[in-house]
Structure 1
Amino acid sequence: MKAVFDDRQTRHDPQFRLLDGKVIQNPDRPQRVAELLRGARAAGCRVLPPEDRGMAPLGAIHTPRYLDFLRSIHARRAAEVADLAEVVPSRFCPGQGLHYSDMTEAQIGFHNADTSCPLSAGTWDAVYWSAQTALGGAALLLAGEGAAYALCRPSGHHAYRELAGGFCFLNNSAIAAEYLRRNGHRPAILDIDVHHGNGTQGIFYDRDDVLTVSIHVDPAEFYPFYAGGAQECGTGRGHGFNLNLPLPRGTGIEGYLAALDRALQRIACFGASAIVVALGLDAHEGDPFQGMTITTQGFGHIAANIAAAGLPVLNVQEGGYMQPALGDNLAAYLGGLG
């Protein structure tokens, strides 16, 4: 299998995270990349750099003002605030907001759902090349590959059209799916991260040309808390084109595979021609977020069931955080694809 990665993704090195009233180090460490590369190579992947496909595929999902914000806010804010290391919101916009201010402080609050996405001088390069990496994986499918792995970091599935959150800035899985759609595919996004893909759901919620399916811990007891319920099935033309399969915290492989069967049945009935897997490895029993109890071998079973659908599969890296089994989990998953 071919994998895609660009080292510029390590330029995002977030330090800030607020947890229980305390500032702690952000868990999305650049060191994750080395472990994921180890896992990809252990699975026999040949790692390739992405081409630069420019801003247009990003702008097919995200608004121009949001892309401009991500690209320019650190430099603009640093010109106003002495010794600024990271941009972190101090206020938030209620609802959608009716006014878009030119003030940097106002824009920071408008474009952030929480405080987990600090922006430093290197963040834009990292998120831009993370998205280009996802596009590189999509291009491999368009070239005839049966499966590909895009090592995207930072992750993307919590990012809405113009809102960062949950360590995510650009929605890589959505960008890749839209690129596939515009080049002739009928894509389904299957999110297997332990957290609900709320940004992905929001982007496609009123659309019927991309199916979105997410298997995750029930948001009644887990981040993102405010989206991911089974009753959320789309709106307008998108009604019936969004499927959430929330599971109890602590779910193991038996319950997970039962939900995966439902997900794959829905994908088959949609008539998908390709699957974009939002590949979270944080459902593992040893992940710091402790949401589910999937074993390393379990990821191989999950992948084998996905492969049995007989469709091209683009695997876009989402969560999965620093712990000894991270690379092994990826190797087991990619190996299970066959």
Structure 2
Amino acid sequence: MKGYFDPRQLAHAPARELHNGDWVAYAESPDRALAIKRAVPDWEAPRDFGMAPLLAVHSQAYLDFLAGAHAAWLAAGRSGDAIGYAFPIVRRRPLTLDRIDAALGAYSYDAGTPVAAGTWDAAYWGAQCALAALDRLATGEDTSAFALCRPPGHHAGADYMGGYCYLNNAAIAAREAQRRGLGPVAILDIDYHHGNGTQDIFYRDPDVFFCSIHADPRTDYPFYWGHADESGEGAGVGTTLNLPLPRGTGIEDYAPALQSGLAAIVDWGARLLVVSFGADTFEGDPISHFKLRQADYAQLGASIAALDVPVLVIMEGGYAVDALGGNVAAFLRGLNAA
């Protein structure tokens, strides 16, 4: 299996985030990507697929904001990373507002997703990694490929950032797969946290099936999305499946949930599967509360491989840096061994 990564993704390095009322060190550090790179042997740099695939998912206004946010922050006389503090929870509508503070609030939903000097370049090249991995599958060179997307993406919506995510790499790859006629496309999100941005992007889309297995949002971020009764709207009714699980879940309960999700994907008739893979389901993860062990990731990978469709793995979360590389490598081994 070929992996894709670009060193420009390391340039995203915010100093801190606001968490539970305190400033804490930013959890989504460049060390995460370096740990994975050391553990997975076969890497290639992506080529540049340009802005068009990004615009198939994200609005032009949002991309313009993201590309210029840090420069606008500095131009306003600020220092450090750009972080919003006011968020429009009602009557959210397009407005032309000059202050960077206003734009940060308009295009984000939390105070834990700073825009640093290197954020745009890192996010852009992370998306290009997802597209390069998809391209490998599209050309028939392999039946699985891995995109080390950093920063992650599944919390980012069409016009907002959040949860350490700026561009939705899984959605960008899925839309491009649709454009290339590789569908039906299914997205399986197995990060600890619900992929609210991905769900939002495809919630009314009858042509992409989204399944997420995640911590119950009654107790865990992102709280407001990912509840079991969310199944799509309009033409997309029935194309979203949420399988929330309680804190403390281990492989004995996680594996049956995965089988339920995979059965739904088979029934959907997917010909391509995009996996938003988060290793923050690990028992030692510092910000999450499942109990999967490293050996369990090989089992998850093998179960997904049994679908016998091309699989594009997109890296999402995972914050136990010392174990992260081994956890990712175990998942990819299981995916390849089946």
TM-score (norm. length: structure 2): 0.97
SS of 2:198's equivalent in the other structure is: helix
Cα offset, 1:16, TM superposition: 2.1
Map of 2:104 onto structure 1? 108
Aligned counterparts, 1:57-68, within 5 A: 57-68=53-64
Map of 1:157 onto structure 2? 154
Map of 2:126 onto structure 1? 130
In the alignment, residue 148 of structure 1 is paired with which amino acid? A
Aligned counterparts, 1:31-180, within 5 A: 31-41=31-41, 46-82=42-78, 84-95=79-90, 97-103=92-98, 104-144=100-140, 145-180=142-177
Aligned counterparts, 1:219-258, within 5 A: 219-258=217-256
Instruction: Measure, in 2, the Cα distance between the counterparts of 1:49 and 1:95.
Output: 42
Instruction: Measure, in 2, the Cα distance between the counterparts of 1:55 and 1:139.
Output: 16
Name which of 171, 186, 194 aligns with 1:188: 186
Instruction: Measure, in 2, the Cα distance between the counterparts of 1:249 and 1:197.
Output: 17
Aligned 8 A contact 1:288 1:323 in 2: no
Aligned 8 A contact 1:300 1:335 in 2: yes
Instruction: Measure, in 2, the Cα distance between the counterparts of 1:106 and 1:304.
Output: 46
Q: 1:96 to 1:273 in 2, by over 3 A?
A: farther
Aligned 8 A contact 1:286 1:323 in 2: no
Q: 1:49 to 1:79 in 2, by over 3 A?
A: same
Aligned counterparts, 1:293-332, within 5 A: 293-332=291-330
SS of 1:31's equivalent in the other structure is: helix
Instruction: Measure, in 2, the Cα distance between the counterparts of 1:98 and 1:210.
Output: 26
SS of 2:181's equivalent in the other structure is: coil
Map of 1:20 onto structure 2? 20
Instruction: Measure, in 2, the Cα distance between the counterparts of 1:161 and 1:323.
Output: 29
Cα offset, 1:25, TM superposition: 1.1
Q: 1:162 to 1:99 in 2, by over 3 A?
A: closer
Aligned counterparts, 1:268-283, within 5 A: 268-283=266-281
Cα offset, 1:96, TM superposition: 5.1
Map of 1:292 onto structure 2? 290
Instruction: Measure, in 2, the Cα distance between the counterparts of 1:89 and 1:270.
Output: 40
SS of 1:148's equivalent in the other structure is: strand
**CA deviation string 1:114-167 (max 9, x = no partner):** 011111111110000011111111111101110000000000000011110000
Cα offset, 1:73, TM superposition: 1.3
Structure 2 unaligned runs (5+)?
none
SS of 1:315's equivalent in the other structure is: strand
Aligned 8 A contact 1:155 1:172 in 2: yes
SS of 2:40's equivalent in the other structure is: helix
Instruction: Measure, in 2, the Cα distance between the counterparts of 1:121 and 1:71.
Output: 10
Runs of 4+ in 1 over 3 A off after TM superposition: none
Map of 1:30 onto structure 2? 30
Q: How many residues align?
A: 333
Instruction: Measure, in 1, the Cα distance between the counterparts of 2:80 and 2:27.
Output: 17
Aligned 8 A contact 1:112 1:164 in 2: yes
In the alignment, residue 32 of structure 2 is paired with which amino acid? R
Aligned counterparts, 1:260-271, within 5 A: 260-271=258-269
Aligned 8 A contact 1:193 1:281 in 2: yes
Instruction: Measure, in 2, the Cα distance between the counterparts of 1:242 and 1:248.
Output: 20
Structure 1 unaligned runs (5+)?
none
Aligned 8 A contact 1:152 1:172 in 2: yes
Instruction: Measure, in 2, the Cα distance between the counterparts of 1:151 and 1:99.
Output: 33
